Amino acid sequence: MSKIRINSILKTKTEVIKNEFMGIIIDNKIVYNDDKINVTLLLYKDKLLMKRETSEYCINFEFLNNNTTESVYNVKKQNMIIYLNVKTKYLKIEDNQIFLEYELYQDNELFETVILELKYEVIK
């Protein structure tokens, strides 16, 4: 287990958010807290699994380059499940960096396009 510093840029249709987080990396697993959202990333050669969870919701994403996958958005307090289709337009994982571009669809309707860049470095 190593401590890491994460720099992220998240771009949507309406905003650009730049952040820096502290986290940990264990083998192919990165864990950090994004403004009270617990984030877990599992990195594979051609796939990224992302879990974002708070006391109010939990969402699991599976990103596969040039593929569409189903994500489950669990709104805990309302006991409601929302199914989203995630179209991964671009995914590149290498050299302590993740580049990801994806589209979110609900009922076959596009409602968000996201570009995420994460760079991380081990802290000594």
The CATH number given to whatever domain includes residue 86 is: 2.40.128.20
Domain count, the chain: 1
Q: Where are the beta strands (DSSP E) in 1-124?
A: 2-11, 16-26, 29-34, 37-43, 47-53, 57-64, 68-75, 80-94, 97-106, 109-122
CB atoms near residue 34 (< 10 Å):
16
For residue 117, the enclosing domain spans 2-122
* Amino acid letter, residue 100: L
Record the tokens describing residue 74, joined without a space: 């669990």
Amino acid at 106: Q
pLDDT tens per residue, range 5-35: 999 999 999 999 999 999 999 999 999 999 8
Q: What is the pLDDT of residues 65-117, one digit of tens each?
A: 999 999 999 999 899 999 999 999 999 999 999 999 999 999 999 999 999 99
Mean pLDDT, range 46-53, rounded to an integer: 96
Alpha carbon of 29 to those of 1, 23, 50: distances in Å?
10, 10, 10
Please tell me the distance from the alpha carbon of residue 107 to that of residue 58, in angstroms, as a whole number. 20
Q: The pTM is what?
A: 0.93
Residue owning tokens 């040039």: 66
- Residue/partner pairs of 65-73 with CB below 8 Å, 24 or more apart: 65/90, 65/91, 68/105
As a whole number of angstroms, the distance between CA 113 and CA 111 comes to 7
Structure tokens at 93: 């994982």
